[in-house]
Amino acid sequence: MKKLKRYQYERYAILCRLAYPSDFDHTQYGFDIEGRRDITDRWGRTIIRILWSEEKKEVIVVFKGSQNLWDWLLNFACFPKKLPGRRKPYHVHWGYHYLLEQNSKLEDNPYSQSNPAMSTSQAIDYLQAADTRHFQGESIYQQIRATLLPLILEGKRVSLTGHSSGGAMAVLTAERLGLEYPDAMKRVVTFGQPAAGFWSFKRAYSYHHCTYRICCDLDIVTFLPPIPCLHWHVGKMLWLHNEKIYDNISTPVRLYKSLLSWLLRPITYHYMHKYIRNKDYFDKH
């Protein structure tokens, strides 16, 4: 597995943060004016942004995390959903699968371009028409697939990134899209992601080598669903804790270190390196 470089981490982290505001100028981040598609959920809220430029070989799919109480409750809809795999079926978290299967609300959006599940030639003709129509009855995943299909055929590779439940949607999309286009996946980078599937999904997942799951200190969402040994994460975990990065540290050890750090925090703030770290504050006075 290749290392995730700092500039790559920062790029995906910024895009995930900017997925939440409704006002977002994608051209400031190197994407073409026409290199954007926004996909909305059943309430008409943007839930996914697909970004690309003609000059670059990478197209980035950004998944937004939970936005309201309904989204949060879906985290607890953790019963299994059976899906077909490469060799045999696997089971995923029902709630996160539902997020991909919900239909978009019909509305005008200058950056949205819904696409039904269609043939390759139809998808290319559809995008080239530069039409901004919406179609009811299309799932989120169908729109992702149809938007990416012409870009994949142009030779672009797909990177998926997301925060919270958006990270779970990213890994589910990677495996599902990879069934049709296994060489199109470039990497998956998630932040604060809950587990997206069961052991069968972990075993079937094809992109462990290019999936990076970023966790920060005692982020409780990364321990969800709260049923030990039933739901499993995929890819490589990078845990950010006490100014260090830990690779694939086990859950019990991570929990122990987090709780110990929390208990000792009043003492550790007395260490001199804490004062050195905050030296930049003086530039502002």
Query: Which has the minimum average pLDDT: 54-58, 150-154, 217-221?
Result: 217-221
Distance from C-alpha of 98 to C-alpha of 149, rounded to nearest angstrom:
22
For residues 284 and 63, give the distance between their C-alpha atoms in angstroms, rounded to a whole number.
Answer: 36
Residue 8 to residue 21: CA distance in whole angstroms: 21
Residue 272 lies in a domain: no
Report residue 103's pLDDT band, with 50, 70 and 90 as the boundaries: confident
According to DSSP, residue 221 is labeled G
Mean pLDDT of the chain: 83
Count structural domains, the chain.
1
73 is in which domain, residue-wise? 6-252
Render pLDDT for 79-96 as a digit per residue (tens, 0 to 9).
999 999 888 999 999 999
Classify residue 264: in a domain, yes or no. Answer: no
| pLDDT of 83 | 94
234 within some domain? yes
Closest by Cα among 171, 170, 169, 127 to 146: 127
Q: Give the pLDDT band (50/70/90) at residue 260.
A: confident
In a domain, 268, yes or no: no
Among 14-18, 112-116, 218-222, which range has the highest average pLDDT? 14-18
Q: How confident is the model at residue 276 (pLDDT cuts 50, 70, 90)?
A: low
Q: What is the mean pLDDT of residues 161-186?
A: 94
Is there a domain that residue 279 lies in?
Answer: no
Q: Is the pLDDT of residue 168 over 90?
A: yes
Rounded to an integer, what distance in angstroms lies between the CA atom of residue 61 and that of residue 37? 9
Residue 238 lies in a domain: yes
Is 275 part of a structural domain of the chain? no
- pLDDT one-digit tens code per residue, 59-70: 999 999 887 787
What is the C-alpha to C-alpha distance for residues 248 and 80, in angstroms, rounded to an integer? 25
**Residue 128 falls inside a structural domain:** yes
- Please provide residue 117's backbone torsions phi and psi, each rounded to the nearest 5 degrees: -70, 115
106 or 168, greater pLDDT = 168
Is the Cβ–Cβ distance between 129 and 110 less than 8 Å? Answer: no
- What does the block give as tokens for 93? 């978290």
Q: Which residue has the higher pLDDT, 111 or 268?
A: 268
pTM for this prediction: 0.82
- Across the range 133-150, mean pLDDT stands at 80
Least confident of 79-83, 112-116, 186-190: 112-116
pLDDT of residue 116: 39
What is the CATH classification number for the domain harbouring 123?
A: 3.40.50.1820
Contact between 66 and 72 under an 8 Å Cβ cutoff? The reply is: yes
